[in-house]
Amino acid sequence: MDRIYFQDTFAALAKSLFYERGRGAGFRATMVGRDYIDRHEIQGGTSDAVIENCIAVLAENNLVEKAAYQKDESDSFFTFEVKGCAHLPVEAWLEKEGVPAFVCPPINMILYKIRQLIGVAVEIADISVHHKEEKCIVRVVIFKQ
Amino acid sequence: MDDLLELMKTRRSIRRYKKKDVPDELLEKIMEAGRWAPSGDNGQPWRFIVVRDFETKKALSRIATEGSGRRFTAEYFTGRLDERFEGLKDEEKKARAYQKLRSGVVSAFLIEAPVIIVVCAYLDVWDVPYDVAMATQNMQLIAHALGLGTCVVVAPVCDIIDEVETAKLLKIPHGYKVALPLAVGYPDESPRPRPRWALEDILYHEEFGKKRGQ
């Protein structure tokens, strides 16, 4: 199977969505990735446990090489560093086309499971792609509403 | 013609309403204006749900509040809220505004609206967003002409996760979507006009960025 075909297709669809919705496109893509993570048994009684368990599944299945995160003093603002993500070629294509990163399926999966299992509010705040280092920085909020 | 422009200029988004019911006859006029909006291929995707039930309004308000709260909390931490409020120098006022936005309460007023017209859309139509937007604009203008206030509240449908919950609440069938809730009622506030770009700043001729005579 030619992976480039799927990467090109995903990228073209993302570009279409961005040109339709502009900055609001991110809010229309928050469910991307859910089906995949639902195929796996994720458990955890805290946000940290859910994050670790999701990252393990993502890494085991080669969707990401590795991922780590840290929280600020508020305990609500998380910064994820995702290395070697399967979506990096898609982001490279989008960047070439002038489309900013607005969807991160791996983080969507993590936030979805946190919301489902812990019941707290979650939101991606921003995404930045660093192609040279083959990593993304995704900042998110996780908090009790 | 001038009357219509004046109507457009004086319309405001109203978030505070008098505790006074809106008669069905007026609501029907509003929706009648909606159904005469331009529609690509005459697809007429719009469908309307009139919501008066308190429990439904309460549920919509909760979804809206949570959605707004999440988005503004994210903007707070990234510093985007600071950019939005750059002009506000009073730190106390700023802190109050931030608190209001982060809690999502800014979108909670749906519960107070006497009526919510939920504009839905049939999806087997080519120009859904444009048609729905034009219908809503018609509805807002006629409502204003009738002495009513309206506010489009996208908070319960902005994020697709919230839209799914809203659709479930309103029993939207497959093949349709919730486009936007429109709060309707008699205004209990008179907001000042929001700043607008001057026409000369947004008008180009023949190609983007080209001013007349260039």
pLDDT at B2 over 90: no
pLDDT at B214 over 90: no
C-alpha dihedral, A116 to B120 to A20 to A29, nearest 10°: 10
In chain A, the number of structural domains is: 1
Mutation to test the B interface, candidates A76, A123, A140, most B Cβ within 10 Å: A123
Tens-digit pLDDT profile for residues B156-204: 999 999 999 999 999 999 999 999 999 999 999 999 999 999 999 999 9
pLDDT of residue A104: 98
Q: Quick one: average pLDDT of A83-110?
A: 97
**From its phi and psi, is residue A119 left (phi > 0), alpha (psi between -120 and 50) or beta?**
left
B residues 83-142 near A, CB within 8 Å?
104, 129
pLDDT of residue A1: 87
pLDDT of residue A5: 96
- Domain containing A137: what range? 3-143
Please determine, looking at this structure, whether the domain spanning B2-199 carries the CATH number 3.40.109.10.
yes
Beta strands A66-71; A121-130: pairing state? unpaired
Mutation to test the B interface, candidates A111, A141, A142, most B Cβ within 10 Å: A141
pLDDT at A111 over 90: yes
Closest chain B residue to the Cα of A122, Cα to Cα: B70
* Token pair of A9 as six digits: 């297709």
Tens-digit pLDDT profile for residues B38-92: 999 999 999 999 999 999 999 999 999 999 999 999 999 999 999 999 989 999 9
CATH number at residue A101: 3.30.1380
Percentage of the residues of chain A whose pLDDT score is greater than 70: 100
Q: Quick one: average pLDDT of A36-65?
A: 97
DSSP at A42:
-
Q: Quick one: average pLDDT of B10-21?
A: 97
Alpha carbon distance A113, A42 (integer Å): 8
Cβ of residue A22 closer than 8 Å to a chain B Cβ: no
Q: Which residues of A touch B160 (CB under 8 A)?
A: 27-31
pLDDT of residue B74: 97
What is the per-residue DSSP string for chain B?
Answer: -HHHHHHHHH--B---B-S-PPPHHHHHHHHHHHHTS--GGG---EEEEEE--HHHHHHHHHHHHHHHHHHHHHHHHHTHHHHHTTT---HHHHHHHHHHHHHTGGGGGGGG-SEEEEEEEESSSTTHHHHHHHHHHHHHHHHHHTT-EEEE--TTTSSHHHHHHHHHHTTPPTTEEEEEEEEEE-BS--PPPPP---HHHH--SSSTTPPTT-
Q: Closest Cα to residue B33, out of B12, B48, B18?
A: B48
Enter the ipTM.
0.92
* Token pair of A65 as six digits: 């090489």
Q: With 0.90 as the threshold, say if the pTM is over it.
A: yes
Asked whether the beta carbons of residue B77 and residue A29 sit closer than 8 angstroms, the reply is no
Cβ of residue A24 closer than 8 Å to a chain B Cβ: yes
pLDDT of residue B130: 97
- Picking from B66, B77, B164, the nearest residue to A125 by CB comes out as B77
A residues 99-138 near B, CB within 8 Å?
121-126
- Picking from B73, B129, B160, the nearest residue to A123 by CB comes out as B73
Surface-to-core class of residue A46, CB atoms within 10 Å of its CB (0-12 exposed, 13-18 middle, 19+ buried): exposed
Q: Quick one: average pLDDT of B125-137?
A: 97
